[in-house]
Structure 1
Amino acid sequence: MSTIFSEFSLKNLRFRRAEKMSALAKNEARWGLLFLSPWIIGFLLWTFLPMLASLVFSFTNYDLLHPDETRLIGLDNYVQFFNDPLVRTSSLVSLRFALIALPVGIAQPIVMAALLNSRHLLGKRFFVTLFYMPYIVPLVSAVYIWQGMMNTRLGWLNLALGAVGIEGPDWLNSTTWIYPALIIIGLWGVGDMLLYHLAAMQGIPTELYEAARVDGAGWLASFRHITLPMITPVIFYNLVLSFIGIFQYFIIPFVLTGGTGRPGDTTKFYAMQLYKEAFGYRHMGYAATMAWMLFVAVMLVTVVLFSTAKYWVYYAGGEER
């Protein structure tokens, strides 16, 4: 009888404890939602609802100059999108620039992080701070500074090249040099990615390098077979963000060219054409269509990237994400 009573008391105690833990979990969940509510409200008001409105606008002829004449036009904007030569031109410009800029943008933080991670480098903190500082400079201000530095006659870059007997190029007015100029300006502010790669390298166990040295591996072999595989999650992260960013590339070319797309049409990127449709021609309905087609393209590219990650991205413990 006492055994049965003891078992009953134990079960009752466990039930009360579970009930108490459940109440505690519910209380924590309520507090969590309370603290998250400002973000949730902000997301609904400033992100979700505008996205929903833009989706509705994409099926209308909404014009900022004549908002009272707005009406549903079905898929007309999407038909126009696929037949618009300006969309094709701006899309090709963005893809062409991506083929040039992305490899450089992926490789540069890896190389810089490897140099900063060297055991023989003195003053690491100074250099890390130095390379990170451009990232916190307002981009528009930085572009105006670079615009002056790349001036053909009076820019510091060409003056420095002229001092060593090299004739400086016409950075901003040459179809040959405009992309290198854009890449240089963009790479100047990659301090965040530099820190991510550096942190990943510093997190690699030193035992791996010591074992490689015992086996006779040099620094290049160690970098190729240890460092690169171990930082592939960060490389993948940079790759995804870079792909998304290249489709939205706008501020630097817009400030440099004033939205004209010069020289020629080499800087008439997709985002600039979208901006022109929305705020130049005031065709807000068609601009919303362009924005949603951009969203679909970015989503498809992101899905492809994630589907290929399992073949080359290494996670600790051999996990696949």
Structure 2
Amino acid sequence: MSAITELSKLKGGRRPLDPRERKAARRDNKAALVFLLPWLLGLVVITAGPMIASFYLSFTDYNLLEDPNWVGLENYLRMLTDDRLHQSLRVTLTYVVVGVPLQLVVALFIAVVLNRGMRGLSFYRSVFYLPSLLGGSVAIAILWRQIFGTTGLVNQVLGLLGIEGMGWISSPDTALGTIILLHVWTFGSPMIIFLAGLRQIPTMYYEAAAVDGATKAKQFWRITMPMLTPIIFFNIVLQTIGAFQSFTQAFIISGGIGGPSDSTLFYTMYLYNTGFKDFEMGYASAMAWLLVLIVGALTAVNFIASKYWVYYDD
């Protein structure tokens, strides 16, 4: 080995590759590209391509049948005076602000109970996770509509208690609440994440606190909650994004119109109806990009605020 090569190695450099090594490196790169090709095609065809197309269409008047007609910022200015869009934003924000915290509270409670080491933990963990798998399905939405219908299970139980039931789905005051309750019922996914986080908290902290005379309640608020804040933050971000995208439950329960009186008119439902029922795809594309901006802004706010309450045990 030459002195120059030795000197380059001492300085942290890399020795030049011989022809056989260069050929092997090129072969490895080609193999990597072959394995990455399906993902790259999916990114371009399924994600990046439609996003670029929708961004262009958001500046056009497009009815799916004729060529797009460029209208500039007209679609975005229209949003300022669209009362139904404002109503859909209010409904969706209410759903997110109320539903996400309630779901996370229930998920954390169940995770704490399961973390106590009960028998058949894997069975209960699977059972409690099932709602997250089924909650977004059409079948569960139909079942939910039947349960809260005028002659549904809820009113039948109230009748046994001597309480007169009501049309929970048909009343503007309670229709959104039934959908929020369905969202809370799908607590399985954050519950599993909370349970994994609880398992990572060192037991020595609880042992030291018990020696100092700390009660279970103090141990929960002074040890469990601070150590779990990264998991809480992760679940808040994940569930908030998912809640803004909710569509199936409200669409099925309300019959696809967001009734009664637009009380369940989710933003995604209004976007869908605008694009595929009213054939205003240009305006619907602008609405989609507004949703991207809202979700992105709230996610950024969550990340900025996290430095004030999220504790990382470094």
TM-score by length of 1: 0.87
Q: Which residue of 2 aligns with 1:45?
A: 45
Structure 1 residue 104 displacement after superposition:
0.6
Name the stretch that deviates more: 249-258 or 82-91: 82-91
Q: CA deviation at 1:163?
A: 3.4
Shift of 1:312: 1.0
Q: Secondary structure at the match of 1:67?
A: coil
C-alpha distance in 2, partners of 1:175/1:193? 29
Match of 1:88 in 2: 86
Letter aligned with residue 71 of structure 1: N
Distance 1:17 1:175, change over 3 A: same
Instruction: Tell me by how many angstroms 1:6 deviates.
Output: 9.1
> Are 1:308 and 2:305 matched, yes or no?
yes
8 A contact 1:152–1:170 mirrored in 2? yes
Aligned pairs for 1:56-95 within 5 A: 56-64=56-64, 66-68=65-67, 70-95=68-93
- SS of structure 2 residue aligned to 1:311: coil
The Cα of 1:224 is off from its aligned counterpart by 0.9
- Aligned: 1:190 with 2:187: yes
Deviation at 1:301, TM superposition (A): 1.1
- Residue 72 of structure 1 deviates from its aligned partner by 1.0
1:169-188 map, 5 Å:
169-188=166-185
- Corresponding residue number in structure 2 for 1:213: 210
Distance 1:276 1:118, change over 3 A: same
Partners of 2:59 and 2:234 in 1: CA distance: 34
TM-score by length of 2: 0.89
- In 1, the alpha carbon distance for the partners of 2:269 and 2:83 equals 15
**C-alpha distance in 2 between matches for 1:258 and 1:98:** 21
SS of the counterpart of 2:220?
A: helix
Aligned partner of 1:269 in structure 2 is 266
SS of residue paired to 1:152: coil
- Asked if residue 157 in structure 1 is aligned to residue 151 in structure 2, the reply is no
Structure-2 separation of matches of 1:183 and 1:89:
17
Report the number of matched residues: 308
**Does structure 2 conserve the Cα–Cα contact (< 8 Å) formed by 1:169 and 1:177?**
no
Please identify, of 279-288 and 243-252, the stretch whose mean Cα deviation from structure 2 is larger.
243-252
Aligned position for 1:35: 35
Report the CA distance shift for 1:213/1:289 in structure 2 as closer, same or farther (over 3 A): same
In the alignment, does 2:78 pair up with 1:98? no
Residues 214, 86 of structure 1: alpha-carbon distance in 2 compared, 3 angstrom cutoff: same
1:284 to 277, 281, 287: 281
For structure 1, the residue ranges without an aligned partner over 5 or more in a row are none
Select between 271-280 and 182-191 the one with higher mean Cα deviation. 182-191
1:58-87 CA-partner distances (Å, limit 9, x unpaired): 1111112x414x321111111112222221
1:168: how far off?
A: 3.9
Give the Cα–Cα distance (whole angstroms) in 1 for the partners of residues 163 and 25 of structure 2. Answer: 70
Q: Is the 8 A contact 2:103 2:185 kept in 1?
A: no
Equivalent residues of 1:81, 1:87 under 8 A apart: yes
Paired residue secondary structure (2:70): coil
Query: What amino acid is the match of 1:93?
Result: V
CA contact (8 A) 1:200 1:231 kept: yes
1:60 partner amino acid: T
SS in 1 for 2:307: helix
Q: 1:128-184 deviations in whole A, cap 9, x for unaligned?
A: 11111222236111111222222222x223323433444444321122322331122
**1:115 aligned residue:** 113
Cα distance change of structure 1 residues 99 and 134 upon mapping to structure 2, 3 Å threshold: closer
Aligned residues: CA RMSD:
2.5
CA shift for structure 1 position 282: 0.3
Q: 1:89 to 1:136 in 2, by over 3 A?
A: closer
2:125 maps to what in 1? 128
Q: Distance in 2 between matches of 1:203 and 1:165?
A: 48
- Separation in structure 2 between the aligned mates of residue 85 and residue 178 of structure 1, nearest angstrom: 20
Q: What residue identity is the alignment partner of 2:98?
A: I
- Structure 2, unpaired ranges of 5+: none
Match of 1:125, SS state, is: helix
